[in-house]
Chains A and B, each alone.
Chain A
Amino acid sequence: MNKTLLIARREFLSRVQKKTFLLTTILVPLIIMLFYAMMIYFSVKGENNVKVAVLDKANVFNGAVKSDKDIVFEFVQTDTATLRKEVETGKYNGFVYVPENYATSQDQQLIYRSGKALGLMTKGKIEGTLNKALEERRLMSLNISQSTLDSIQKKTDISFTTLSGTDESAKAGVSYGVGFISGFLIYIILFIYGTMVMRGVMEEKVNRIAEVIVSSVKPFQLMMGKIIGIGSVGLLQFIIWIVLVGGLQFLLPIFFPGLAEQMHSQPVQPASMQAAEAIKHASQDSGFMAGLAQINFPLIIGCFIFYFLGGYLLYSSLFAAVGSSVNEDPQDAQSLMLPITMPIIFSIVIMTKAVNDPTSGLAVFGSIFPFTSPVVMMARLAHGIPEGVTWAQLLISMALLIVTFLGTTWLAGKIYRTGILMYGKKPTWKELIKWALR
């Protein structure tokens, strides 16, 4: 068997056969999803049962401020001193005092006093509710009915299309999502598997196994074997995730048949209801499914695999070179890693621009420059060919990526073969360049 493949096989098996592999492969996405779900839940969820007393001396609210499940407005007829006491004792969470001379037409401040500081969401809600009530009062005083207002505020639908006639508006949102997700995935892959290669190389160097191995195979074979092996682990992991996500969508309704109805029937939190409605609205409005159908998935998936492999090969060889030149100290690795991680982080910055404006100069540059192209090109590709990216640009970008990864692998191999047997102090950049060019 070819020695590079032999090494790749060991790297692959030693990782896949570990008990932790399946565990992390399945658990990590679950944990990430749970984490995001929690984050969204907590950010949307306000404080419960905030009781607000309204001392309306001017009678601007007319006793009618809508309460909801979270915030209850209660109109009282006392004075501020008693209210202060009642807030202190905990009967109310806070109170709003409207002075007698308050007029809706003037720019006057209202003051809300509370026992303890309020959350941002709650503040916004109280402000919104009171302003809404005030607005209604103002409209009433001007004799404008709600229906008149609605007819004034009516929105005109603008349909965005390109000259070639494809329905842009239907696609834009979906393209944005697909582009962002695939770009971000590649970004994560580069980081996770790049550092995995680096740690593997460092481990071999620290264990001193490297010298034994390079007396049997060429250092370049050892490096490539490691890169290929770990790359296969990455591919396998992705396949498992894709199968898992597909399977979950299929299995969830079977295990929890009532889930869908429950979600609809339950009186959910108003805020999340709003969000759900917004999504529903958006999907009806811009044709979410229609947009999805317009994305060229074979192209996206094909290119995703190409840029995943190209980007991984480009960066992992550089990570291997760094791993080979440092010793036990992880801090040395940190400082040498910086010039490698910079372009990856930079590419995510360009990518966020490129998903919005796929044909801007920066996006075009980012998608052709090989150190950023794996991430940025995915964002442009989601907008389709030729709206997001031309065939010519795509081919140039791919060719450049191939040439560059061959180049970096070659240079990294030279650093690697010197570094892997060097012990002692951390090499300087000048020395690394010397090794590479020798």
Chain B
Amino acid sequence: MPLLELQNLKKYYATQKAVDDISFTIEQGSIFGLLGPNGAGKTTLLRMITGIFFPDDGTITFDGQPFNPLRDIQKIGYMPEERGLYKKMKIGEQALYLAQLKGLSRDEAMTKVKWWFQRLQMESWWNKKVEDLSKGMSQKLQFVTTVLHEPKLIILDEPFSGLDPVNANLIKDEIFGLSQRGSTIIFSTHRMEQVEEICDHIVLVNLGKKILDGTVQQVKHTYKQNLFRLTFSNRLLPEHLAIHLFDVKRHGEKELTIQLNPDYSNNDVLQYFISKDLQIESFNEIFPSLNEIFIRLVEGTHSTTRTFQAVEQ
């Protein structure tokens, strides 16, 4: 059952169609990647999901029921891209306060905060203030305050920015852990290598519209360019390569990268090389990285220099 269903969501500002008719569903327990260049409308979309903004049009279904910000907000944890904490407040108090705002009682909050602080080795911070923390440390604190109340839906906007690799891995493990314990996670970023590693399902938005939707595997299959890489144990000769089956992209002494002619199959290629008496060591299809797909889709749309437009409502 999907946890979250968006249908024809729209949000127009005075000079921008920030979100223009976007629909997708997020399955319970999945890790969902919301991708898009800067200014694509990701934050606006997330703010509608967290009940901060009302959509101009469209519906949000949360956990099988129409989204009701007042009730459902307790089941959501949101970590915005711009981190914010009270600088002068003690860290322990701050975590307790934010947990209580999410509807936990003081005792519950205390137990949870202690558990998380212990887990991430933050106990010694309790009486420090946020202004005493480094950027990475306050990032960790922000993460803890987001997931403290064990929300059904966790929304993380660029969770790894400003973290060193050790801490980034620590947080990544926590994200996987939360997902295994049943939380659904929306992960908004433009760091594609992290998405490939973490996400099950992705949606790419650009200029306020959805331009890609599917699992990482599906997307890669959709955008594959029939590229293959072969290695051989004996030397390749130039006459081997003059064939209508494929175009040669690159070749070395014993290796070859080809683009297959769409009229032929993988087996045709293999048969051809076998018939030429070449010993094939490996045969791999090369899938495009999400990064390449992202760039290919977004480039040329001038999305990075998105112009202001008049919006007729």
Contacts and interface: CB of A to CB of B under 8 A. Distances in A.
A215 interface: yes
Contact of A210 (B51, B69, B76, B84): B84
B84 A209 contact: yes
A213 B101 contact: yes
Contacts of B256: none
Contact of B83 (A208, A218, A421): A208
Contact of A14 (B76, B85, B88): B88
A214 interface: yes
Interface size range of chain B in the complex: 20 to 34
B78 interface: yes
Interface size range of chain A in the complex: 20 to 34
B100 A214 contact: no
Contacts of B171: none
Interface string B87-131: 111000000011011100000000000000000000000000000
A3 interface: yes
A214 B98 CA distance: 11
A207 B84 contact: yes
A1 B100 contact: yes
A216 B82 contact: no
A202 to B, nearest CB: 13
A216 B73 contact: yes
B201 to A, nearest CB: 23
Given A215-B73, A218-B70, A421-B52, A208 B101 contact: no
Contacts of A10: 97
Contacts of B100: 1, 6
Contacts of B98: 212-213, 216
B84 A215 contact: no
Contacts of A207: 84-87
Majority-rule SS of A interface residues = helix
A217 interface: yes
A214 B145 CA distance: 14
Q: Which of B47, B100, B142 has most chain A Cβ within 10 Å?
A: B100
B101 to A, nearest CB: 4
B39 interface: no
B50 interface: yes
Contacts of B214: none
B52 A208 contact: no
B37 interface: no
A211 interface: yes
Contacts of A1: 100
A215 B97 contact: no
B101 A217 contact: yes
B288 interface: no
Contact of B86 (A3, A209, A211, A216): A209
B200 to A, nearest CB: 24
Given A1-B100, A3-B101, A216-B101, A208 B82 contact: yes
Interface string A1-45: 101001100100010000000000000000000000000000000
Nearest to A219: B52
Contacts of B29: none
Nearest to B46: A215
A89 to B, nearest CB: 64
Given A10-B97, A421-B47, A211 B52 contact: yes
B80 interface: yes
B89 A212 contact: no
A211 B53 CA distance: 11
Nearest to A209: B84
17 contacts: A6-B100, A7-B101, A207-B85, A207-B86, A207-B87, A209-B84, A209-B86, A211-B52, A211-B84, A212-B78, A212-B80, A212-B142, A212-B145, A215-B51, A215-B80, A218-B69, A218-B70
Complex A-B, nearest 4 residue pairs according to Cβ-Cβ distance, in ascending order: A208-B84, A209-B84, A215-B78, A216-B101
Interface of B: 47, 50-52, 69-70, 73, 76, 78-80, 82-89, 97-98, 100-102, 142, 145
Given A14-B89, A213-B98, A217-B73, 8 more contacts: A10-B97, A207-B84, A212-B84, A212-B142, A215-B51, A216-B101, A218-B69, A218-B70
